[in-house]
Amino acid sequence: MKFYKFRFKLQNVLLILILVISWSACSDPEVNPETGESVNFDTVPQQFPIQPGIIDEASGLANSFSMSGYLWTLQDSGKPNSLYLISTDGKSIREYNIPGATNHDWEDLSSGPGPAEGVNYLYIGEIGNNNPPMTSTNIIYRIPEISSRDGSFSQSSLEKITFSYPDGPRDAETLLLDPVTKDIFVVSKELDKAGLYRLAYPQSTSSTIVAEKVGNIPSVVFATGGSVAVNGGEILIRNYTSAFYWIRNSGETIAQTLLKSPKKQIFLAPEPQGEAISFGRDGKGFYTLGEIGQATSVNLNYYQRK
């Protein structure tokens, strides 16, 4: 994002407010009743340094399904119309242009199924809207994931899902894809609430969709990123200080799950400006990555499941 000095001072105030407002008295099951897996994660992450100057404004994170051991990330407004493939040890970063796309304010990234059977897609959330005047519509770009590190994205494969909100323009930084239903969810970034909006599958790529307002997510404010586990059974939404964790019960929709209080609040290690989060592809933990802000460097953080 822009205007770092102003935002850095404002962020100090917001962090205090978030800690006060954030829900803390939560039920904390030791295992997921659906899978038997632990729902506890390491409180101190493994940290992998990221070379400064390449992805200093990472604002989204998603799994690669074509290349094991890699994640996709993107950068905020004013940066190239590119996705970046980053190894899970942080040592390798490669940039890939997305021809035909425009980075007005890319804020989050998801990966998973889409219209073509057996094809994995990347969903780019052009959903930031924090600089007035707010735009009346927003965009989610959908494009098939390349199959190798030597590949390139094709403009002819790029689809544009244009949508508006039923209750007026919103700033958002959280994009969620349901791998079971292929529905897309957007979570608004607001100081007093987190509105949940649904774009039901199949999403039109030829006309503007009016998103469905599902409700407000309990206990979450100032949401900056989110992730749905590969199997669709777990959900994370983060802000600058914490990640909120839900278990999706059998037969539940993502909307039904997120309208209940989270099962856990996970306090995250300090990041200069934490925005990105993703479950690992193997389900054994989750990753976070922040914007560099006024720091000299950032780390890719990995929280392993206990």
pLDDT in tens, 164-174: 999 999 999 99
Provide the pLDDT for residue 79: 85
Q: Is the pLDDT of residue 256 over 70?
A: yes
Q: Is the pLDDT of residue 295 over 80?
A: yes
* Partners of 47 in the β-ladder: 301
Provide the pLDDT for residue 130: 84
**Before 202, cis peptide (omega within 30)?**
yes
Tell which CATH classification among 2.60.120, 1.10.3470, 2.120.10, 1.10.10 matches the domain 4-304: 2.120.10
pLDDT band with cut points at 50, 70 and 90 for residue 15: low
- Rounded to 5 degrees, φ, ψ at 30 are -80, -30
In eight-state DSSP terms, residue 156 is G
Looking at the chain, the whole-number percentage of residues with pLDDT higher than 90 is 85
Distance CA 219, CA 258 (A): 10
| Chain mean pLDDT for the chain | 92
270-285 confidence digits (pLDDT tens):
999 999 999 999 999 9
199-251 confidence digits (pLDDT tens):
999 999 999 999 999 999 999 999 999 999 999 999 999 999 999 999 999 99
Provide the pLDDT for residue 10: 53
pLDDT band with cut points at 50, 70 and 90 for residue 131: confident
pTM across the whole model: 0.91
pLDDT band with cut points at 50, 70 and 90 for residue 34: confident
Give all strands of the β-sheet with 242-247 in edge-to-edge order: 225-228, 234-238, 242-247, 264-267
- Rounded to 5 degrees, φ, ψ at 254 are -60, -40
67-113 confidence digits (pLDDT tens):
999 999 999 977 889 999 999 999 999 999 999 999 999 999 999 99
Provide the pLDDT for residue 103: 95
Q: Tell me the average pLDDT across 276-297.
A: 95
Rg (the chain; Cα; Å): 18
Please give the torsion angle defined by the CA atoms of residues 267, 240, 290 and 258, in that order, rounded to the nearest 10 degrees. Answer: 80
- Please enumerate in sequence order all residues whose Cβ is within 8 A of that of 102, keeping only pairs 6 or more positions apart, or say none: 81, 126
Distance CA 273, CA 15 (A): 11
Distance CA 248, CA 39 (A): 12
